[in-house]
Amino acid sequence: IVGGHPGNSPWTVSLRNRQGQHFCSGSLVKEQWVLTARQCFPSCHAPLTGYEVWLGTMFQNPQPEEPGLQQIPVAKIVCGPSDSQLVLLKLERPVTLNLRVALICLPPERYVVPPATMCEITGWGEARGLSHRVLNVASLNVISNQECNIKHRGRVRENEMCTRALMVPVGACEGDYGGPLACFTHDCWVLEGIIIPNRVCARPGWPAIFLRVSVFVDWIHKVIQL
Amino acid sequence: QRSPLNDFQVLRGTELQHLLHEVAGSWQKVVGDAEECAKHCGARLDCRAFHYNMSSLSCQLLPWTQHSPHTRLRRSASCDLFQKKDYVRTCIMDNGVRYRGIVAKTVDGLLCQSWNHKFPNDHKYKPTLRNGLEENFCRNPDGDLGGPWCYTTDPTVRFQSCGIKSCREAACIWCNGEDYRGSVDHTESGRECQRWDLQHPHVHPFEPDKFLDKDLDDNYCRNPDGSERPWCYTTDPKLEREFCNLPRCGSEVQPHQEATTFHCFRGKGEGYRGTANTTTAGVPCQRWEAQSPHQHRFLPEKYACKDLRENFCRNPDGSEAPWCFTTRPGMRVAFCYQIPRCTEEVGTEDCYNGSGEQYRGSVNKTRKGVPCQHWSAETPHKPQFTPTSAPYAQLKENFCRNPDGDSHGPWCYTTDPGTSFDYCALRRCNDDPPVSILDPPDQVEFEKCGKKLDRPHQWLSKLR
């Protein structure tokens, strides 16, 4: 995250490859399910032996004995609808919810976040100058697709959403993909967007684009239920 | 600091059964681990293998191996089978004096004479447990440089070499040797390799059960991390890891190379050969032959098969996707996720309107081409929607349908046990644009979720 500050986000998870390296982020939507970006995974059918999610820490390289750290192997991957750029990861066992690990709410189906809603992005990715050794958080405000499409010349689809461009470099970057755009609604944090690979990151004067989660909430519930 | 297990080859979850002998030696109570068992078995000439029971921490010594007559291997939930390498390896180390395999023909195909026979060739050897002269198997009791040999049953040829290959020659490497599955277990300086399933003398991240596709067997040379050639951790505490000296298989073109792609990437993108040369977020990539701003070991000439040309995104080490070193000093590497993934989906054969609730066609495979499960079947997935529970949806045979009004279109339960349901090889009809969702937002109801403390700095000091 560029232009953010160290912060807390108990539903943000770090995805780890077989060498234990962080390569993407995800969001804890159920005790045993993490939502993240399709682009982070080689395939919907490749074995995931050795891949893990790490939760309950703010450090990119936590010490193994760090209190609260939970390291849970990924058991299964389920790819979302073709246009979703999403995957759901089923964990080998449920996480333990506590002060450091919490679920994030899912929005109602097809819910459209009102413009100006206050949101935040989090991640351990590229921080440009700030330390990416800790979880960084940046605040952003939602704008309508209509306003966003002015700058992006109509390329923003309805299953995507945008946040206001700032004149200073603030935004998600390499290593943050799959992480949450969480918005504060009715005194709860709701997972409204997913950080997806963009051609630019933290570019001043340029609205950021996220995957709109509410379009795929029915798929998420169906996978978890089935 | 070699482990006694270095002399053994393991078969995980396997039991060796002897068809004629009900039970072999008794189970010995061992407090320690498989290494303790290996110490016991290694010291006994009549022990060729042992079972190690992971739950009772005990072992059973065996006087036979899977190559002995009347034996067979069987899956086991609690046992691992360790067999002495000398008895099961099909190649020889050094001059083969320790070879205990079952080859019994000479290089010209002559059948070997049994060692305890004096006819047609009389000789001075007397079979013992120590010299391992067994039946008519090739052996090297006199340390002959030509390797294992035998007396032959052809009166005109007294003895002849058996031509058993050295382990080094038995398998060669293509490109960087990621596919090498040979049995060389020493490094180029002659140090013995450490077993991959041990963390001593060197602690390491390459646990065999995390890298199943790399076959990190026993202490054989392997290349699990995209190094320039196979290597291993060594039993020398002063040298952590070292390359192995293995023969190349001639031309650099690997016979079963992954299909190359140029405009998209498949799987991990190891076959990508396009010209994308920036990171996802547009940072220019560093040229592979350059060592600035980032020094690295991926030299183009050492990775001839990986096509490390200019500053193109590539995946020479099996990472999750094509990547590159970046020209930004503060950012060493980054993925090139802007390269689209090649679709894994099969072509669509039909279309549906709306969300497909009224679709009544006969397409019966998923978007990945997996055949659908019949709606009336109970396996491999127990259906929630059946022809009786959802008569309105006309769930016929295994045709794609949408009994729950899924907004993403018709779907079916699949015949793949690992995928309970998936969307079908169907597309939305062109003349039916989806209803826009950008209406005024509805009311929001939430259950128990979405709460957090927001005092980061106090939080930080608490953790550290």
Reported as a single tens digit per residue, the pLDDT across B265-274 is 998 999 999 9
Scan residues 363-392 of B and list those with Cβ closer than 8 Å to A: 367-368, 384
What confidence tier does B30 reach under pLDDT thresholds 50, 70, 90?
low
The H-or-E segment that residue B50 falls in is strand B49-53
Chain B residues touching residue A103 (CB < 8 angstroms):
449-450
Residue A22: closest CA among chain B residues belongs to which residue? B320
Query: Tokens in use for B437?
Result: 């969702």
What is the rounded CA–CA span in Å between residue B387 and residue B409? 19
Residue A212: closest CA among chain B residues belongs to which residue? B437
Query: Tokens in use for A85?
Result: 């750029």
Q: Residues 6 or more apart from B35 whose CB is under 8 A from it?
A: B3, B4, B5
Q: Which of A83, A46, A15 is nearest to B418 (CA)?
A: A46
Range in A125-139, B172-186, B266-280 with the lowest mean pLDDT: A125-139
CB contact under 8 A, A23 and B320: yes
Strand residue runs (E) in chain A? 5-6, 12-16, 22-30, 33-37, 52-55, 70-79, 86-91, 118-123, 136-143, 160-163, 180-185, 188-195, 208-212
pLDDT (mean) for B110-132: 93
Chain mean pLDDT for chain A: 92
Scan residues 300-339 of B and list those with Cβ closer than 8 Å to A: 319-321, 330-331, 334-335, 337-338
What is the rounded CA–CA span in Å between residue A215 and residue A146? 17
What confidence tier does B458 reach under pLDDT thresholds 50, 70, 90?
very low
Per-residue DSSP letter, B7:
G
CB contact under 8 A, A111 and B444: yes
Dihedral sign (CA B226, B231, B234, B238)? negative
pLDDT score of B167: 92
What is the rounded CA–CA span in Å between residue B259 and residue B304? 16
Most confident of A31-35, A83-87, B442-446: A31-35
Nearest to A108 among B319, B345, B442 (CB): B442
Per-residue DSSP letter, A78:
E
pLDDT score of A72: 97
What confidence tier does B23 reach under pLDDT thresholds 50, 70, 90?
low
Displacement of CA B365 from its chain's centroid (Å): 30
Task: Report yes or no: B304 and B175 within 8 Å, Cβ to Cβ.
Answer: yes
pLDDT score of A143: 95
What confidence tier does B463 reach under pLDDT thresholds 50, 70, 90?
very low
Give me the DSSP letters along B325-343. Answer: EBSSTT--EEE-TTSPBPP
Reported as a single tens digit per residue, the pLDDT across B274-300 is 999 999 989 999 999 999 999 999 999
What is the rounded CA–CA span in Å between residue A81 and residue A222? 12
Largest pairwise CA distance in chain B: 101
CB contact under 8 A, B205 and A190: no
CB contact under 8 A, A108 and B445: yes
Per-residue DSSP letter, B137:
-
ipTM over 0.95: no
Query: Cis bond leading into B120, ω under 30°?
Result: yes
pLDDT (mean) for A9-24: 93
pLDDT score of B454: 65
How far is the CA of B186 from the CAs of A141, A221, B11, B222, B225, in angstroms? 60, 53, 21, 11, 18
Dihedrals φ, ψ of A188, to 5°?
-135, 150
Residue type, position B286, single letter: Q
For B369, other C-beta atoms within 10 Å of its C-beta total: 11
* Side-chain half-sphere CA neighbours of B148 within 13 A: 31
What is the rounded CA–CA span in Å between residue B396 and residue B362? 9
Question: Quick check: A117 pLDDT over 90?
Answer: yes
Nearest to A18 among B211, B337, B345 (CB): B211
Per-residue DSSP letter, B290:
-
Nearest to B446 among A41, A105, A175 (CB): A105
Q: Residues 6 or more apart from A21 whose CB is under 8 A from it?
A: none
Chain B residues touching residue A16 (CB < 8 angstroms):
none
What is the rounded CA–CA span in Å between residue B221 and residue B26? 35
pLDDT score of B49: 95
CB contact under 8 A, B282 and A189: no
Nearest to A99 among B420, B453, B460 (CB): B453
Q: When comparing pLDDT for B460 and A33, which is higher?
A: A33
Instruction: Tell me the pairing of strands B14-18 and B49-53.
Output: unpaired
Instruction: Give me the residues paired with residue B272 across strands.
Output: B261
How far is the CA of B379 from the CAs of B320, B375, B393, in angstroms? 33, 10, 20
Radius of gyration from C-alpha coordinates of chain B: 31
Displacement of CA B149 from its chain's centroid (Å): 35
Q: Cα torsion for A22, A26, A28, A34, to the nearest 10°?
A: -100
Per-residue DSSP letter, A99:
S
Nearest to B438 among A8, A145, A201 (CB): A145
Reported as a single tens digit per residue, the pLDDT across A55-102 is 999 988 888 888 899 999 999 999 999 889 999 999 999 999 999 999
Reported as a single tens digit per residue, the pLDDT across B229-267 is 999 999 999 999 999 999 998 765 566 566 789 999 998
How far is the CA of A53 from the CAs of A35, A127, B245, in angstroms? 11, 21, 37
What confidence tier does A104 reach under pLDDT thresholds 50, 70, 90?
very high
CB contact under 8 A, A197 and B280: yes
Nearest to B441 among A20, A114, A173 (CB): A114
Q: Does B119 touch chain A (CB under 8 A)?
A: no
pLDDT (mean) for A10-35: 95
Instruction: Give me the residues paired with residue B105 across strands.
Output: B111
Chain B residues touching residue A146 (CB < 8 angstroms):
438
Question: Quick check: A226 pLDDT over 80?
Answer: yes
Question: Quick check: B440 pLDDT over 70?
Answer: no
Nearest to B406 among A40, A59, A218 (CB): A218
What is the rounded CA–CA span in Å between residue B107 and residue B361? 65
A81 to chain B, closest Cα gap in Å: 7
pLDDT score of A46: 77
What is the rounded CA–CA span in Å between residue A189 and residue A122? 13
What is the rounded CA–CA span in Å between residue B463 and residue A65? 12
Scan residues 432-451 of B and list those with Cβ closer than 8 Å to A: 434, 436-442, 444-447, 449-451
Reported as a single tens digit per residue, the pLDDT across B87-96 is 999 999 989 9
B33 to chain A, closest Cα gap in Å: 24
3 state SS for B83-133: EEHHHHCCCECCCCCCCCCCCCECCCCCEECCCCCCCCCCCCCCCCCCCCC
Residue given tokens 């070193």 in the structure block: B325
- Beta-carbon contacts below 8 Å between A and B: 175
Instruction: Tell me the pairing of strands A70-79 and A136-143.
Output: unpaired
Task: Report yes or no: A175 and A61 within 8 Å, Cβ to Cβ.
Answer: no
Task: Report yes or no: B411 and B420 within 8 Å, Cβ to Cβ.
Answer: no
CB contact under 8 A, B281 and A66: no
pLDDT score of B462: 46
pLDDT score of A130: 62
Residue type, position B28, single letter: Q
pLDDT score of B32: 72
Question: Quick check: B317 pLDDT over 80?
Answer: yes
pLDDT (mean) for B330-358: 90
Chain B residues touching residue A69 (CB < 8 angstroms):
none
Identify the residue among A17, A195, A226 best suited for mutation to test binding to B, counting B beta carbons within 10 A and taking the highest: A226
* Side-chain half-sphere CA neighbours of B340 within 13 A: 6
Question: Quick check: B443 pLDDT over 80?
Answer: no
Residue A101: closest CA among chain B residues belongs to which residue? B452
Burial group, residue B261, by CB count within 10 angstroms (0-12, 13-18, 19+) = middle
Reported as a single tens digit per residue, the pLDDT across B43-74 is 999 999 999 998 888 889 999 999 999 999 99
Chain mean pLDDT for chain B: 90
Q: Residues 6 or more apart from A23 whose CB is under 8 A from it?
A: A15, A16, A17, A40, A175, B319, B320, B335
Chain B residues touching residue A84 (CB < 8 angstroms):
408
What is the rounded CA–CA span in Å between residue A65 and residue B120? 70
Question: Quick check: A197 pLDDT over 60?
Answer: yes
Query: Tokens in use for A11?
Result: 């539903």
How many residues are listed for chain A in this entry? Answer: 226
How far is the CA of B41 from the CAs of A192, B47, B68, B235, B393, in angstroms? 61, 5, 17, 21, 66
Coil/strand/helix, residue B60: strand
Chain B residues touching residue A104 (CB < 8 angstroms):
449-450
CB contact under 8 A, B450 and A17: no
